Amino acid sequence: MSGVRVLVGTRKGAFILTSDGKRTEWDVAGPHFGGWELYHLKGCPTEPDRVYASQSTSWFGQLVQRSDDGGQSWEPVGNDFHYEGVPGTHQWYDGTPHPWEFARVWHLEPSLNDPDTVYAGVEDAALFVSRDAGSTWQEISGLREHGSGPAWQPGAGGMCLHTIVLDPNDEQRMTVAISAAGVFRTDDAGATWRPINRGLHSEGIPDPDAEVGHCVHRIAMHPSSPDVLFMQKHWDVMRSDDGGESWHEVSGNLPSDFGFAIDVHAHEPGTVYVVPIKSDSEHYPPDGKLRVYRSRKGGDEWEALTNGLPQSNCYVNVLRDAMAVDSLDECGVYFGTTGGQVYASPDGGDTWAPIVRDLPAVLSVEVQTLP
């Protein structure tokens, strides 16, 4: 029977949760790298036992670890992330120019085809690639240097490149998202980039419809419909049907359209999941009820999924990289909370149960479906 491996990054280490296809009994391994922040772990689509992990602390900086046995053992690989050329400046919180400074790796995105190629989204916002399994990293500097970079500003969490969407039908196309700059796309494998934020409207910036400056939290795509993108923006759930050329709001009847995480059902390209959060100053669910919302119509019409989730006195957050789906016949949905719970639904969100309840604050959740 096939199974799943859930890769969990937390404030104080990484945990690996495994189960068979029933997804009712779980083995919990960890902490790996105890005491370190694990912003993200992700496995290679073509070589599932190869897993990359971003490990950092304020004390000792950034490391990247690689496992070739599904997370049982790890080797530190390259951690030299230097910007190409003279990196120049972006805007600081007070509007003054501020030099680009590397802080950490927020997100690792292995290539869909080559296990030795992996992309890294970093703070201060830039995109790096390794073509030797993490040993060395080169900046894809066309993004930072395409023109709008000097106008980018950090959000409260830093100026991070946190989302990397690879087009399964077109190796040349890649879409990334930056807080608080917006969405950018390349159609020539990273040589040139342009902002694709038309239709985004953000009240918290001087020009609500500006070309850049939007605090995009996360983008999700179903591989069978790469032109359809779903976005959880700071406020607003958005959708694009043309690869990001234009966006329209699909928040519909959500109790709050603020949030971080968003994902798409593995087998239903029009079924989308979000976790509404009360507001940007109250990072917890509305009414103390932890509810995943599912739209089976690609947005606008949402239903609350509550079976098995706490419906009173719940004041946790679900961060942008902390939701994932598996691709078993009955799609599993997973998310982790800042309260240390990792919840799993083996039936597309109809019912939920915690896999673990008392981990450190969860930063990221990724799922591998194993043969």
Partner 1 sequence: MIRVVLPAHLKTLARVTGEVTLPVGAPVTQRAVLDALEAQYPMLRGTIRDRTTQQRRAFVRFFGGEEDLSHESPDAPLPDAVAAGAEPFCVVGAMAGG
Binding residues (CB under 8 A) for partner 1: these are 35-36, 57-63, 76, 79-80, 82
Largest CA distance in the chain: 57
Q: Are 124 and 175 in contact (CB under 8 A)?
A: no
User: Given the complex with partner 1, which of 77 and 161 has the nearer CB atom?
Assistant: 77
Query: Is the preceding peptide bond at 124 cis, omega within 30 degrees of 0?
Result: yes
**In the complex, what is the shortest distance from the CB of residue 80 to partner 1, in angstroms, rounded to a whole number?**
5
For the CB of residue 122, give the shortest distance to partner 1 in the complex, in Å.
13
359, 366, 309: which is closest to 339 by C-alpha? Answer: 359
CA distance 5 to 223: 20
| CB nearer to partner 1: pick between 60 and 94 | 60
**Least separation in angstroms between CB 75 and partner 1:** 9
Find the shortest distance in angstroms from Cβ 73 to partner 1: 12
Shortest Cβ distance from residue 320 to partner 1 (Å)? 23
For partner 1, which is the closer residue by CB, 12 or 217?
A: 12
Nearest residue (CB) to partner 1, 36 versus 293? 36
Location of structure tokens 């409260």: 156
For partner 1, the closer of residues 244 and 340 by Cβ is 340
Closest approach, Cβ 48 to partner 1, in A, equals: 25
Distance from C-alpha of 356 to C-alpha of 337, rounded to nearest angstrom = 11
The nearer residue to partner 1, 83 or 230, going by C-beta atoms, is 83
Four-point Cα dihedral 282, 283, 287, 290, nearest 10: 180
Q: What span, in angstroms and rounded, lies between the C-alpha atoms of 217 and 231?
A: 7
How many whole angstroms separate alpha carbon 227 and alpha carbon 221?
8
Asked if residues 250 and 238 have their Cβ atoms less than 8 Å apart, the reply is: yes
- The CB-of-317 to partner 1 minimum distance in angstroms stands at 18
Distance set, CA 362 to CA 11, 24, 84, 244, 320 (Å): 7, 21, 32, 29, 10
Nearer to partner 1, 146 or 283 (CB): 283
